[in-house]
Every structure is written in structure tokens, then in C-alpha cells.
Structure 1
Amino acid sequence: MTDPRPTPPAEGTGSTGRTGGTSRTSVRAGTTRARRRPGDRPRALTLGGVVDGVVLAAMLGVVALGFGPAWGTTGYLLPALGGAAVGLAVAWTAAALRWPVLLTAGATVVAFFVLGGALALPGTTVAGVVPTPETWQVLAVESVRGWKAFVTTVPPLSSFPELAVVPYLLMTVTGVLAGTLAWRARQAAWALLPVAVAFAGVALLGTILPARPLVQGLVVGVVGLLWASWRAVETRMEANRLLSDASRDATRRLRAQRVRGGAVMLALGGVVAVLVAPATVAGEERVVLREVVTPPLDLHQYTSPLVAFRGYTKDQADTTLFTVTGMPEGARVRLATLDDYAGTVYDVASGGASGVFNRAGEVIDTVAAGTRSVVEVEVAGYDDVWLPDVGELAGIRFTGERAEALQAATYYNGASGTGLVTTGLRPGDTYELDAIVTTPPAEEDLATVPIEDVDLPTAKDVADAVPAKAAQFAAEATDPFEQLTNIRDVLVATGIYSSGLDNQPHSLPGHSAARIDALLSQDEMVGDDEQFATALALLARQAGIPARVVMGFYPDDREWEPGTPYVVTGADVHAWVEVPFEGYGWVPFDVVPDEDNKVEPLPRSRQVPKPPVLEDPETPEEPPQADAGEVEDEDKDDDEAESVDWRQVAIVVVTVGVPLLVLAAPLLAILLFKARRLRRRRSAPVAVDRVSGGWREVLDTATDLGAVVPGAATRRESARLLAEQPATSAAGPTTTALAHRADQVVFGAGTPTDAETAAYWADVDTAVRDMQRSVPWGRRVRARFSLRSVRGADAPPLRAAAWSALTAGPRAVGRGAGALTARVRDRMARTRRRKQRAQQQEDR
């Protein structure tokens, strides 16, 4: 009898004494080399896998820190770190369960949408956790569009919670890729590739201010490289694992040497990073996308507000445009900064020194110094896209009913201090400004301050009189500030202020090259802020002084007391010029002519003599004109009626009628089909067909009304079923008689006469009428447009058929993916069994 227990190994041999095992004995140097068995646990379930997860979590965590400067608060940590955790969790689960690639990708998508609400968009969820359809919509949309918005929005981005999808998505994908490569790839160092790409991507998405460069460099660079080296050594040692006592000692010594060498490398790398990183960061200018990407805002579609300047003074002088509360003393309400002149209009520029318009939120990064104030604005009669603001903005918060829509449509140019709401402001809108107001310096303080050299857009098509007048008004001055004040003083001293009102001299609106040329060519320059501010800016730029025009509002000191709400009317509109000074920034210069300047009367020799005044003779009293007025009104109405613009009427009819016709076309087609079917049945050339067609009409009407009749039922069975159903029971006796008569005609020997078929159809009409009257009118209407009789009573409902058609593709893809997964698993199993058999044969 054979003992089934294994025989113990002989002393001094390298055999395990086990027969039929899976280990292989090598007598080379008295060592034994063991092969890894196919049934070994996945690396994700080993201690080494835990170390991999800790290292990856540390690297992804420091990569996520790069979002800090752009976000402005710590609110980015939850979506960024949460996304990294989700990605690593999916990768670990897939590695532990040996999921295929398709299943891993599907699990990533599901986890992204299920957990995205709690981690990135808690404001769209129920109780901050349960996602809603809005959550999934925002996740899907921002996954595509959020990248552009992320780099075209003014930091900090904490005011735009939907942008949290960007760090959440980036870190989720990075976690899945890095974890999958670390736990499943033969060369674990490939896991550093997605981490490095994410590190560079976060840097490009950020600002010019670095986050934690020293910490990021140490963890991602040094720790990452050490981990990759450790994994490479571990792989080699696993492949050549020694089992003899002497070889185990050698292995331990080798491992100790590797650990000591790694520690020395880590220490040296840390010292080098600490010494080199600060100098590198300080001397290197960061390149980020938000500095080179132009925001998708087309300023050409928005008209310059200076075009409407004269409209405020003439048409809205007494109209309350908006009310400003909390405005500091000496502050002005800025509507827009204009720095691009093209010969016809002074417009708002974007790009270069003019700055760019980026999305703005409740917090705006600014380095401006001054008095910080909270200014509230309530819009009344103002209706335009340009946002009235005060000073340098550190934040914009809309508080009205349209707050969310307005916040999403608000852009701000920090270089020019101009705000823009693409949807436009309307009466009733309210918002708050975090404003930083700086008191302008006195002109005496500017006399010794250099003017900054700012590269503004080149003025085009300037008036012909500008070069000569700039030299004439600047006189002999050579200092830029003196030239500027000389030009300004000449305009103020010799100009005559007029907006063309009834009590003012004649003055044309506009600021085109022709208007400015006419202004400067006159002996008496007549105009208002629009013309004089434009003239001063163009004359200053001709002298080499950078200048721009600002349109806005400021109160008369006699009409507004600081500390009280400032009610802005059209009469408060002004335009002034700004010039940049070193240490002060853009300083305003008013160019309003003295009120004492009047139009000189014509010389006496040139005056036209007045005609003598003749006394009018008494005029006879005119009869009342009431009747004539009524006749005129009637004639006027007749003329208006006769002058109807039929072209406009036709356009309206076509515009409204064509869409309605398109929508009603399917319904009309159903009605036409049923009418044609009825006519064919009633006028069939064969009498038997007319009788059977009459029965089909009864059955189809009942089917459209909701009755259920199997297609294989006989006429008498169908009649019995119709008599039992509520929708058709009212015509039960008639339908039963019609079914019997139809059977007699169809299966009988004779042929019915025309009178008999006409009588049969009369009974058919009676049955149809009785069935229709027995149901509510709503069901009758639905029955007229129903397709159940066309598709057959046994056909499934249209909704179920449409759903089946829509889901046929995904079901087929699912079946194909399942079959593919099954084939892959079968192939892997066959390969595994083949390797096991080869191993067993080799061991024998």
C-alpha cells in the first residue's frame, strides 16, 4: 500500500521532496529557483500594492495643489483630491478583480457621474450627495466646454462652482491611468507618465504664480523616481528569487544595500531640490494658457457707448438710469474705457496693453491699492451691455432675480476697468461691487512724475487738423506733462460747451474724424464732452502721450452729498481722458470748457437788420374745427388702412405658417390616409369587397378607440369581444348583426345587390357613430389620429416600439461586448491551462 503523503527531502539536496509539484529544482550552485505560479494574487492585494497606492496618492495630492492659485480658496481640494481618490479606487478594483479594459472604462464613467455631484457640484444635488439630472447635465457639458472657460475666466475661479468639473475630471482620469499602470503593467515606471502629464496640465491651467513648487518637485520628482527604481529592483528580485539559505542571505544583503543607496539618493535629491528650486522659480517666467488664450468674446458686436452720448443729454436728461449706494466721495461711475480710434468711433479694445475681457465673479484678483468699499447699484432706466462700475473691482455679485444668468454673462477687463454683461442689464437688476477707489493726485504732484510708455492701439484715420493743432496748442513745451496740460488748457479756455439743446448754440453730435476736424478748424470750437475728450486724447497721442477716453457719470457737487444714494440721470453723463503716470496709474483729466465761454455775436457791419414789426390786424374768430378734425382722423385711418404693407403681412404669415404646417403635416397625413382608406372600402368594385370592407371599418374604428381584438379572431368572435368592452359596448347589437351578415355575404352562394351593400354601409355608419359617442371627446380626437388600426391591434404601443428601436443599438453593443469579454476570458483561461500543463511537464 502506497503512502499518499509526500516524502521528505533528503538532506543536502535542493529538492522539496514533493512529486508532481509546480516548483523546479536546479542543481546549479546548490540553489533552487521558484517560478511564480499562475494562481498568484494580483499585486493590488499585496503589501507592495498598498505601497504603490500610497505613493500614487501622495503624488496626485501634490499635483492637485497646482489648482490653488487659480481657484483662490481651498474649495478645489474636494473635487481634485476626490477625483484622484475615485480614479485610484476604480483602478484598484479593476486590478484586484482583473477587469478587462472596457469594463474598467465603463466603471470609470459610472463613478464619475455618480460621485461627481457630491465631490464637484454639491449645489446641484439633493442633500449634497444624491445627484440630479442637472448634476449629470453640468458634468457632461463642463467636461467638454469647461476647459476653455477655466483659462478665460478671471481668477479666482471659486465664484464659478461649475468649473470644479475640470480638476475633478482631470484627477479622476489621471488616477485611473496611473493606478492601472502601477498595479497591472510589467514596467511600473509607466505610471509616472500620466502623473507627469497631469502635473504639466495643471501648471498650464493655472496662473503665473506657482503653487508649492518645492513640495511638488520633491514629491513628484524625487519620490516618483525612487518608487520607480524600487519597483524595478523588486521586479528583478522577484524574477530571480533564491530559496537556499546562502542565497537568502545574499538576497537580504542586496536588499539592504538597495535601501541604503535609495536613502542616500533621496537625501541628496532633497538637498539639491531645496538649493536649486528657489532660484529656478524666481528667475523663470511661467507660461500659462490664460496668458496666451484670447477669451471667446467678440467686442465688435457691441456698440461703443460713446455713440449714445448725446442721447443721454438730450433724451434722458431727467431719466433716472440707476441708483448708486455707498459710492465714496470723489469717485466716478465708469461705463467704458475707450482706447481704439478708427476714424469713425472711439471703441473698446481687447488685447495687449488694453487688457482682455475674462469672465468675472464674486472675487476678482487685483493688486490695486486704495479705499475698499461695497457699492450697491440698482438699475432703473438703463438698458445696455456696459456695466456701470466704480474704481478697481475686486468682485461683482448680482442679487436680483436674474442673478445667476447675469453672473454667467459678466466679463471684466482689469486693465481698463470695464465691465460687460453680454445679456444686457435691464430695469430691476441689482448688484454689488467690491470697489477699490484711489484718490487722484493733484496736478502739482504730477509735474515731476514721468508718464508711462503704454502701447495702445494705433489711432487710424485721424482728422487732418490734429497734427497742426497738437503742435500749436502744445506751444513751446517739451515736457510731456506740460504739453498735455497746455493742450487741455487751450481747449478749456477757448471751447464753447454745447450739447445742441434748445438754449445752447448749435452743436452736431458724433466724434468721427470729420466732426473732430470741424471742431478744431473753427474759430469757436463748439461741442460737449464727447468731442472735447476725443480731441484731447487724439491731440495728446499725436504728441506721443498715451491717452484714452473714459465715458461715465459723476455728480455735481451741488446736487449730491457724499454718504447718500447717488441717483444717476442722463444729465450726469461725462467723458474724460486718462493718462498713465508711474506710481499712480491712469489719472483722469477733465476737458470741459468754461461756462463763461459764449459764442461771439457777429460784427455790427455784418449783422442782418431786423425787419420792422407790423401789428397784426384783428383776425376774425374761426369756427370750431371739431368736425373737421374728426374727418381728418377718419381720413387718416383710411389712409393707414390703405397703406397696409402686404409684404410684411406675407412674411409674418410664412414665418408662422410654415412651422405650423410642418408640425401639423403628420396629423394631416394620417387623416388623409384614413379618408382614402374609407373611400376605397366604400366604393370597391366588387360587392363582397364592399361588405367585408365595411366590417373592417367597424373593426378599425373600435381598435383606434382602444378596443382589443386579436388579429386571428373571426368576425363573430370579434363582435362578441366588442360587445364586452366598454369603449364599444354601445354598438354591441349592431356589430353582432353586421358580423353575421358579413359572414353570410362572404361565405354564401349569392352576390349582394347595390341596395343591400348600401344598407349594410348605413348600419356600419350607425355602429361607428354609436361607438364614437360612447367615449369622451378627448378619446375620439385621439382615435382620429391613432395608428393602431394601421399597425394592427396586436402591435405593441408606439412608445414601446420606439424605445425598442432606440435601445437596439446599445443592446447589440452590450451583447457584442459580453461575447468579446467571454472570448477573451476563455482565451486567457486556455492560455493559463496550457502554461500550467507545460509547467507540470517541465517539473516532471
Structure 2
Amino acid sequence: MMARRESGLRQPWSYVGMDAAVLLVLLTLGLLGFHATFGGDIRYLVAGLGGIVLGLAIAVASAHWRLNAWLTAGLTVVGYLLFGSALAAPLEAAAGFLPSLPALQVLALGPVTTWKDILTVAAPVGVHGGMLVAPYLSGLVTALVAGLLAWRVKQPYWTVLPITVMFVVGIMFGTKDAPMPLLRGTVLVMATVAWLAWRRHMMRTRGTRVQEDTATVSSPESARRLLLRRVGMGAAVLAVATLLTAAAAPLLTQAEDRRVLRDVVEPPIELFDYPSPLMKFRQYVKDEHETVLFTVDGLGEGQRVRLAALDAYDGMVYNVNPMAGGNFSPVGDASRLTGTDENLPEHRQAGTLEVTIEGYEGVWLPGGGRLRGLEASGPRADQLSRSLYYNDENETALSTIPLQEGDSYVADVVFPVQIDPGELEGQDFGRIVMPELLNVPQIVPERAQELVGDRQQPWERVSGLASTLHESGAFSNGREGEVTSLSGHYAGRISALLDAEQMIGDDEQYAVAMALMARSLDIPARVVMGFYPENLPADGGPVQIKGKDVHAWVEVHFGNIGWVPLDPTPDKDNEPTPPQQEPKSTPKPQVLQPPPPP
């Protein structure tokens, strides 16, 4: 008969089971760092726990059969590919769990690409394209290393390293909204210290049981010293755990200045490639005046369709800050985006917009405010969902593929602030950082001081700017039959507007002029371009948006309220006074003069 092979494990199976249970709990605490990254989708937890269990199983097998490094690595790769289709690539797997070529491709490329993708995609990142490889692979590798160190190395203290790595990975690849950070950190430190103390006690008990019993019987003094040593060791363990918990608390709490990797990694988008939508303002007015751009269903009274919030000016164009490309994150799960707060901010309402694109062509996505989710439909639904970038600060979305006829989507939005002006009295402006404005005409701060006068209250100052432009200016967008009004909002055009005896322009010039004047007074302001019809259906039903419905307005930030819209543009019926015609001179008939005398 063949001799039974001796197990390579250094401790009984009951101890191995206890170690595995503790490691599972500790590694799961680190895994929870991915919670906000995946928006609480339970599939990330399934993938991570599956990887942890698989790693521990491989570690047990390696220790029991004394496998060398190459066999252990080979077994790990086979297990990774065999179970990865169901755990890390369920959308690509056949029937959701069977290995397939797309799933194997995701698993093969995931260890290289998933780390960049998970940092450059707006949370929640979704579960397609190998996103689940991050928690699955992290759990697998850290559990494998922790198990090998626990069961194949004499000293168990090295096991703390992979446990710590798992916790750090969950933090660095997570978001600022870490779930229960202090509680997780406290449990991690206390459980780790207690487990290591138990492991040390078990090792000493098994190795010195006979000697300790003899010493206890033969020498009461030795027994007393042994008891004091154990009490001291226990007190030291508790002291170390307390100190570590106190030291880790500031790092684990959800402070405002907490930073993670996604805060310093910029997504691969170049905003210089996407021109400001405000440059096309007059084209909508003149060339597409009666063209149906898109149909929208769900607009309520006083609500507007926004294209983009513009906060940077270079003397030629008002644009989305080109240096803020890092604030535009590619959308992972379009159905749930950043800023999906369950409790709505005061003075803002949630709603649903159903948008069907017709004549509109552009990269800026028509929306209604803060985008909380989007469900695309039509022949390009999947392509459109994967091309979205979103900036939650500016509440602006763009698609790297221009929208075209046939595209449609349902957007879950939070509409901009709607508030009675009386509630803004006494409110201070928000303290936010805005990009520096360049090449602003000298007349802008001069006219701003002149229009504001001696007003001191924030609302009085900004409303004074808006009301003066609205009441004293004249409207003309230069269409046929109207008074000439130059297009554009470059520095020369704004100077001509503010320096004219009679201001003449449309939304493009008045909105830019007010925003520049407000910024010269240190008022946080930005220009917003979008659409809204003169009359909305009473039932909020579908309405066709045409080129003539294009508008631009100004938003000013108040600290406790948010961005409040203001309209400085004069009414359309406030037409400029035509210049007085000088009377034409009537020439007198020439009279033949007599010849001069000789």
C-alpha cells in the first residue's frame, strides 16, 4: 500500500478554518472601499468575495500539498480564468456565467486596463468592460498571499501586509464617499491585533504545553512570572490596538479634503476639441429659425433645456474652462451618475425629460440641469451611452460622438433653482473658485461700478446689473427687417455694446456682458446657453424646440441656495429707436449769370 502523504499545514484543520474566517472578514472590510465606486451594485461584492474565497482555497491547497511557486501561480491563473467569467465578466459571459471569448478577452486585458478605466470613469462605473476585474483580482491576490503567509510561514505577522494592501486599494480606487470609514478601520485594527495575539498564543501553547505544566507544578514562582508575562502581553496588545486605531482615525474619517486617486488622474478628454456652443448662437437664430432641433417632453413651467454652463473667457469666446478636462469624467453606468442625492436641494425639483433629436447636431447634450441618470434608446443607444462625459459641478454633459437625427434618451434630472427674489435678500455669494478671465475690455469694470452704484447687499448688486441691462438696452439679433446687430461676443463687440449711446444686441451679448461685469465685482457668475419656448404646454407634454427658441442667460452662485438664473436680455419687443433721418436738401435751379463787365 502507498503511504498516506503528510499534510504540509503547520496547524490543525480547526485552526485553518478559524484563520480563513478571520481573513475573509478582514479582507471584506477592505473590499467595501469599492462600494461608492460601483454605486452600491451588489455585483462588485459578489466578484470581490468570490476572489477572496478562491484565493484562500488556492492557499490552503498550496500549503496542504506543498506546491512550489510555479504550481501555485499556475493554479491561480487557471482559477482566475475559470471562475472569472461568472464573477468578473457576467455581461460578456455566455448565459451570464459560462466562459466565452469576449469574457476571456476581458479577463486577459482587465489586469492591465481596469485600473485606469476605474479611475477615469465617473462613479458609479458600472459592471461592463471589465470593471469588476478590479475587486475580483484584488480579492484573489491579497487572499492568496495572506493565506500563504498564514499557513506556510512560521511567523503569522507578515499576514498584516496583504490585509493592509487590500484596505489601501479599496481607498485609493474608491471615492470620497467611503462607507463607514471609521467603523471599518476600527474593526480592522482590533480584529487583526486580536487574531495575531490568538495565533501567537496557540503556537506557544502547542509548542510549550509540557514545559509550562512542569514549571507550574515544580515552581510556583515560575508560574507567577508566566502569568504576569501573559497579562502584560495582553495589555500591550490592547494598547497597540488603541494607538493604531487613534492614528488611523484621521485617515479614515470622511473629511472634506480627503483625496483619492481619481482626484489626481485626468480623464483622456481635450476640451479644446469641442468649440463653445455659444459660437453657434446666431446660426440658430438666422439659419435654423424654424428648424425643429429636438422634441422634449417633461418641461414644467419656468424650466429650461440647458446645453452647457460656460465659465471661462479669453477675449474671443466664452467657453467651458478648457483646463477643466479633468472635471469631465467618462460615464460608466449612464443610468446612475454622480450627484444622485436622494434628498433634493431646497428650491430644486426633480423630473424626467424625454428628448428626441431631430435637426440638432452637436456634442453638447440637451438636458435640464443636474443629470442623475440617462437611458438612451434608438439605433445608437449603446454607442451614445459609452461616449458620454459629465461634469457635475457645471451640470454639463457632452458626447464625443455628435448627436444626430434618431437619437433619443430619457434623462433623470434635477432642474435649476427656482426661487422668489425676496428670499435672496440677505444671502451672501458662494465662496467658489472660478477660472481667471483673460483680455476683458477695460470698459467692463468701469460700467459695472457705474451700474451697481452704492448698492451694498449681494442681491441688490447683481439684480442691479441684470435690471439695468434689461430695461435700458434694446433687442435685435440682426435678422432681416431688424436693426443691424453684429454677432459674436469678442472683446470688441462687448466694448461696442457697453460704450454705445443705445445698447443693441441679443442674449449672446447681454449675457456675456453681465457675466463679465459681475466677475469684475468678484461675483461668482457664469453664462448658460440653452433653449426654452415662449409658451409651454399646460400639461407639460411634448414641445418642439426650434432654432428661434435659443437663449443665453446668467447664473450667479449664492452660498446657501446654489446657482440662481438671471435674464439680463431686454424683451424682444423692446426694439431700438431708428436713427433720425436728416432732411434732404432741395437744390435750387441754377440761374445763368451775366458775363462780367470788360
TM-score range, shorter chain: 0.7 to 0.9
Q: What is the percentage of aligned positions where both structures have the same residue?
A: 37
Say whether residues 1:465 and 2:434 are aligned partners: no
Give the match for residue 599 of structure 1. Answer: 576
- 1:250 and 1:463 map into 2 onto residues whose CA distance is 98
Bigger mean CA offset, 361-370 vs 531-540: 361-370
Q: How does 1:438-517 map to 2 (within 5 A)?
A: 438-517=416-495
Q: Structure 1 603/176 Cα, relative in aligned 2: closer, same or farther at 3 Å?
A: same
Quote the offset at 1:322 in angstroms: 1.1
1:294 aligns with 2:266: yes
Is structure 2 residue 555 aligned with structure 1 residue 578? Answer: yes
Shift of 1:272: 8.5
Note the C-alpha offset of 1:459: 0.7
Is this contact kept in 1: 2:7–2:65, CA < 8 A? no
Indicate which of 167, 184, 187 corresponds to 1:216: 184
Is 1:359 the counterpart of 2:359? The answer is no
Q: Which runs of 5+ in 1 are unaligned?
A: 1-37, 612-844
Change (3 A) 1:451 1:607: farther
SS at match of 2:132: helix
Give the distance between the partners of 2:45 and 2:363, measured in 1 at CA: 35
Unmatched tracts of structure 2, length 5 or more: 588-598
Counterpart in the other structure of 1:53: 20
Structure 1 counterpart of 2:314, from 342, 349, 363 = 342
Quick one: structure 1 residues 178 and 567, their matched pair in 2 at CA, closer, same or farther if it must change by over 3 Å? same
* 1:251-330 → structure 2 map (5 Å cutoff): 284-285=255-256, 286-330=258-302
Instruction: Provide Cα deviations, 1:585-621, integer angstroms capped at 9, x if missing partner.
Output: 00011122133433333334x355799xxxxxxxxxx
Q: Provide the rounded CA distance (Å) in 1 between the counterparts of 2:280 and 2:188.
A: 57
CA contact (8 A) 2:314 2:438 kept: yes
Helix, strand or coil at the partner of 2:259: coil
Which range is displaced more, 512-521 or 546-555? 512-521
Partner residue of 1:172?
Answer: 140
TM-score of the superposed pair, with normalisation by structure 1: 0.63
Query: Contact between 1:488 and 1:536, CA under 8 Å: does it hold in 2?
Result: yes
Q: How does 1:597-746 map to 2 (within 5 A)?
A: 597-604=574-581, 606-607=582-583
Equivalent position of 1:391 in the other structure: 369
**Is contact 2:314–2:437 with CA below 8 Å preserved after alignment?**
yes
Asked whether the equivalents of residues 91 and 128 of structure 2 are also in contact (C-alpha less than 8 Å), the reply is no
Deviations 1:559-604 (A, max 9, x none): 6444210211111110000001122200011122133433333334
Report deviation, 1:45. 6.6
In 2, distance between residues paired with 1:60 and 1:188?
16
User: In the aligned structure 2, how far is the partner of 1:590 from the partner of 1:163?
Assistant: 44
Distance 2:285 2:189 in 1: 65
Partner amino acid, structure 1, of 2:410: E
Q: Distance in 2 between matches of 1:212 and 1:121?
A: 28
Question: Equivalent residue of 2:327, what SS?
Answer: coil
| SS, match of residue 389 in structure 1 | coil
Does the Cα contact within 8 Å between 1:498 and 1:507 map onto a contact in 2? Answer: yes
- Distance of 2:138 and 2:21 partners within structure 1: 19
Q: Corresponding residue for 2:412? A: 434
CA-based RMSD of the aligned residues comes to 3.3
What is the TM-score normalised by the length of structure 2?
0.87
Question: Letter of the aligned partner of 1:575 in structure 2?
Answer: A
What CA deviation, in whole Å up to 9, does each residue of 1:33-82 have, x standing for no partner? xxxxx966433773332222222112112221222233222332101111
Q: 1:388 to 1:250 in 2, by over 3 A?
A: farther
How has the CA–CA distance of structure 1 residues 245 and 591 changed in structure 2, closer, same or farther, with 3 Å as cutoff? closer
What amino acid is the match of 2:21?
V
Structure 1 residues 388 and 229, CA, compared in 2 at 3 Å: closer, same or farther?
Answer: same
> 1:416 is matched by which residue type in structure 2?
N
Amino acid at match of 2:188: V
Between the aligned partners of 1:600 and 1:565, the Cα distance in structure 2 is: 38
Q: In structure 2, what residue type is equivalent to 1:357? A: F
Give the 3-state SS of the residue equivalent to 1:530 in structure 2: helix
Q: CA contact under 8 A between 2:330 and 2:390: conserved in structure 1?
A: yes
**Selected match of 2:503 from 506, 512, 525:** 525
Q: Match of 1:470, as an amino acid?
A: A
Aligned partner letter, 2:263: E
Cα shift at 1:276: 9.5
Q: 1:178 to 1:508 in 2, by over 3 A?
A: same
Distance 1:609 1:585 in 2: 61
Query: Whole-Å Cα distance in 2 between the matches of residues 335 and 490 of structure 1?
Result: 26
CA distance in 1, matches of 2:553, 2:25: 56
SS at match of 2:294: strand
- Residues 125-151 of structure 1, C-alpha deviation per residue, up to 9 Å, x if partnerless? 122221111112222333222222323
Whole-angstrom distance in 2 between the partners of 1:85 and 1:594:
68
- 1:443 deviates by 2.2
Q: For residues 607 and 501 of structure 1, what CA distance do their matches in structure 2 show?
A: 28
- The one of 303, 313, 316 aligned to 1:331: 303
Letter of the 2:565 partner, please give it. P
Matching residue's letter, 2:272? H
Deviation, structure 1 residue 356 = 1.3
Q: Secondary structure of the residue that 1:459 maps to in structure 2?
A: coil
Measured against aligned partners, the alpha-carbon deviations of 1:615-644 in whole angstroms (never above 9, x if no partner) come to: xxxxxxxxxxxxxxxxxxxxxxxxxxxxxx
Contact 2:558 2:564 in 1 (8 A): yes
Distance, in Å, in 2 between the alignment partners of 1:443 and 1:323 is 31
More helix by share: 1
- Residue 410 (str. 1) matches residue 350 (str. 2): no
The whole-number CA distance in structure 1 between the counterparts of 2:242 and 2:578 is 86
Instruction: Report the Cα offset of residue 263 of structure 1.
Output: 7.4
Select the residue among 399, 406, 414 that pairs with 1:421. 399
Distance 2:213 2:575 in 1: 114
Asked if the contact 2:476/2:505 (under 8 Å) is kept, the reply is yes
Shift in Å at residue 410 of structure 1?
A: 1.0
Map 1:89-108 → 2, pairs under 5 A: 89-108=57-76
Larger radius of gyration: 1
Instruction: Describe the SS at the equivalent of 1:488.
Output: helix
Change (3 A) 1:454 1:217: closer
Structure 2 SS opposite 1:146: helix
Q: In 1, are the aligned partners of 2:181 and 2:253 still within 8 Å (CA)?
A: no
Return the offset for 1:421: 1.0
- 1:355, 1:416 within 8 Å by CA — same for their partners in 2? no
**In structure 2, how many angstroms separate the alpha carbons of the residues matched to 1:397 and 1:586?**
26
The residue correspondences of 1:68-147 to structure 2 (distance < 5 A) are 68-73=35-40, 74-147=42-115
1:181 is matched with which residue?
149
Work out the CA distance in 2 between the residues paired with 1:350 and 1:249: 81
Q: Distance in 1 between matches of 2:148 and 2:229?
A: 26
- What amino acid is aligned across from residue 70 of structure 1 in structure 2? T
Contact 1:344 1:513 in 2 (8 A): yes
Does the aligned pair in 2 maintain the 1:495–1:524 contact within 8 Å? Answer: yes
Of 413-422 and 590-599, more deviation after overlay is shown by: 590-599
Report the CA distance between 1:248 and its aligned residue.
9.7
Measured in 1, the distance between the counterparts of 2:141 and 2:363 equals: 40
User: Cα deviation per residue 1:8-39 (whole Å; 9 max; x = unaligned)?
Assistant: xxxxxxxxxxxxxxxxxxxxxxxxxxxxxx96
Q: Distance in 2 between matches of 1:255 and 1:131?
A: 58
| Counterpart residue identity of residue 172, structure 1 | L
Cα deviation for residue 452 of structure 1 reads 1.7
* Residue 550 of structure 1: how far off its partner (Å): 0.2
**C-alpha distance in 1, partners of 2:545/2:277?**
16
Aligned to 2:360: 382
